Structure 1
């Protein structure tokens, strides 16, 4: 019920072909797909995004935006307006609301506060994402790729690249009045805080530089990806 309210397990409605809806499994889904009974432990796995759960970065980004904007789930759009060569606005595309997500205002405020802590508290898993002038909130995540039996006894670096966990980071800023949400997936990046988080940080930094006219190093190149370096080796 809550996952459906958050827009998971179904297409977002963005105007792009080949969008995938993902999977939010249920007992009926498992019976139809595998002809097997739902196990009690699977409910716990699904609740934290494991098991048969499949989501897209766009779904998680939309969900994040809904949680921090007060609870409204919007349909993603690619075009804000169409402008003629002479500068005249020919058409404007207004935001399309798909309703309110489940959860009280108090609950959403608590979640938002926790997301800010992930980035800005001393023990936060994404404290490296913090910017000095913009308060960012976010959540790191790790998506298991294979059964743990395939990598038992291996150190992180010795795990074959194709078996390494995916790294997630979903985020928003500024926390006081959110205006941008960013979700990053680094395939086989292992840790959201160290692999996906820095990508989001770079986008936030550039976004607010452009908005505020404070760009300092326009020609600065981003650091090479440690994940890709290891893959190439």
Structure 2
């Protein structure tokens, strides 16, 4: 049964996005942060594994790390898992690097890109998942993280399933498992839309509905 939409905000989109990163990290968890991939012969795949061991155990800060160390570790970012990438990103949400610290800024940009890729893989990893085109990965990732952020702000209701639409992509986002599934026949879910004010703030409008196979609400 449909319910009247209600609004969260207005809030700056970046604030909602940061809240979404933290909520997604809680959903994924911090297990196996210090478990790293290995080559078939058993040797570490990461060339700078020690750097990440210290970074992921909060023994190292990017801002105080030599640029040469950060630059050398940047090529290893693509081998990190989703939980590891979320830990690094959430640990630097308030980071403000000096204009001269371009290496640290570039490192976090690589983390963002790898996070988008790993999140897309997670969303599409379950049976019956929606397949995400390569060109849509960044947009899908941001939209998913914003939904996690909006859900974390809701006090009136708690819904684990959200109707997801981004471009021509449609699916049902399950927040606890972080899976993007094809729409079922009738499933209680919430839909998310966004309005922008003149000041650039975002208001999230939410409405409950029963989703049908067509995905219309």
TM-score (norm 1): 0.28
Whose radius of gyration is greater, 1 or 2? 1
When you count strand as a share of all residues, which structure comes out higher?
A: 2
TM-score (norm 2): 0.30
